[in-house]
Homo-oligomer: A and B are copies of this chain.
Amino acid sequence: MVTIADVARQAGVATSTVSYVLSGKRSISGATRDRVQEAVRVLGYRPNASARALASSRSNVLALVIPLRAGMHVPVLMQFATAVVTTARRFDHDVLLLTADEGRSGLERVSQSALVDALVVMDVELHDERVPLLRELPMPSVLIGIPADTEGLTCIDLDFFAAAEQCVDHLTDLGHREIALLGTPSAVYERQTGFAARTMAGFQAAAERRGIQGIETPCESTFDAVLGTVGELLREHPGITGLVVQNEPIIGPLLDVLRSLGRRVPEDMSLLAICADDVAERQVPKLSSVTLPADEIGQQAVEALIAKLDGNQAPAVTLVPAQLTARASTSTAP
């Protein structure tokens, strides 16, 4: 194994000089820097991560906490995760994956053992059991998702309340008077997962404000569930002319079901989705949607975390503004 001492010897300098060349934490003459860098190259030197972490009290590793609970759509979670990893690498950090519901104990373990020096927490519930713990931990954290009490936290997420409001406004403006929110699987609401709860709240608030009828219903992520849920919905509320979907995997099946029920989109039924842009554009017809910018959110989460690690302040709550793009799936009410 090549150590910093080997490099120092090869370059004819002190180990500290090598260290400083590598970290850039003090100025080095050009000649010395070149000699050191050449030695590094020749010997194929890589700093030992443990030694560096021990000496500097910085592991350069972030923990990514993804519980993978029932009802969550994995590809969307992984979009966040990928953005987190990519951005972390930009800041020279790696990412430790915490999945299995080790829950609180997992967080305590990795933080108290100094395995990581900051945490990104996903799949946040309104009354998340991890939140009190995060407040106590000796290291910074960022939540992707927003709990009920954000005191002392740093949280980032799409403004799902506004997203739902914009959907309601868009449909109402088009003349729809009776609309429904076809939501996530019920398990997600039962856990009071933040994004689902806030979407529903925004939907209700906007419907009330605009004086139209808004119906909310969860929906499991299978074709049969869509068939059953939509069938029942339209039976009990035959006047519904607009749907807002917040459940990515059922988007395809939903279009099929509407087709099979003889409801044309958008002529008979307007459809709005809250999902990634590419998903909306892949459908036939292309769906009007509010973007879920997973990449941007994951990236901002890491940037906020790095800021905190550098001793800078990060805003308590960052709501990424909702942006509605009208495509081919919404039109004036029949």
In the complex with contacts A46-B109, A114-B49, A114-B50, A100-B89 CB distance below 8 A: yes
- Nearest CB of B to A226, in Å: 10
In the complex with contacts A95-B96, A97-B64, A50-B59 CB distance below 8 A: yes
How far is B94's CA from A191's CA once the two chains are assembled, in angstroms?
Answer: 27
Which B-chain residue is minimally distant from A89 (CB atoms)?
A: B100
In the complex with contacts A68-B78, A75-B74, A252-B223, A96-B61 CB distance below 8 A: yes
Interface bin, chain A: 35 or more
How far is B81's CA from A64's CA once the two chains are assembled, in angstroms?
Answer: 14
The contact of A85 among B82, B100, B113, B222, by CB within 8 Å, is: B100
A256 and B223 contacting across the interface, CB-CB below 8 Å: yes
The contact of A74 among B78, B96, B113, by CB within 8 Å, is: B78
23 pairs of residues in contact across A and B, judged by CB atoms under 8 Å: A44-B112, A46-B113, A48-B113, A49-B50, A49-B53, A49-B59, A49-B115, A53-B53, A54-B54, A64-B97, A82-B99, A85-B99, A86-B99, A86-B100, A94-B97, A94-B98, A94-B115, A96-B96, A222-B252, A223-B255, A224-B284, A252-B252, A252-B253
A47 CB within 8 Å of chain B: yes
A31 CB within 8 Å of chain B: no
How many copies of the polypeptide does the oligomer hold?
A: 2
The contact of A96 among B78, B97, B102, B223, by CB within 8 Å, is: B97
A26 CB within 8 Å of chain B: no
Q: Which residues of chain A have a CB within 8 Å of any CB of chain B?
A: 44, 46-51, 53-54, 59, 61, 64, 68, 74-75, 78, 81-82, 85-86, 89, 94-100, 102, 109-110, 112-115, 222-224, 252-253, 255-256, 282, 284
New A-B pairs, 10, CB < 8 Å, besides A46-B109, A81-B97, A86-B99: A48-B54, A48-B114, A49-B113, A50-B53, A61-B115, A74-B74, A74-B78, A94-B115, A222-B282, A256-B256
A96 and B94 contacting across the interface, CB-CB below 8 Å: yes
- Nearest CB of B to A254, in Å: 11
> Chain B contacts of A75 at CB under 8 A?
74-75
> Chain B contacts of A59 at CB under 8 A?
49-50
How far is B112's CA from A81's CA once the two chains are assembled, in angstroms?
Answer: 25
How far is B109's CA from A96's CA once the two chains are assembled, in angstroms?
Answer: 15
Which B-chain residue is minimally distant from A77 (CB atoms)?
A: B78
> Chain B contacts of A252 at CB under 8 A?
222-223, 252-253
- Nearest CB of B to A81, in Å: 7
B115 and A102 contacting across the interface, CB-CB below 8 Å: no
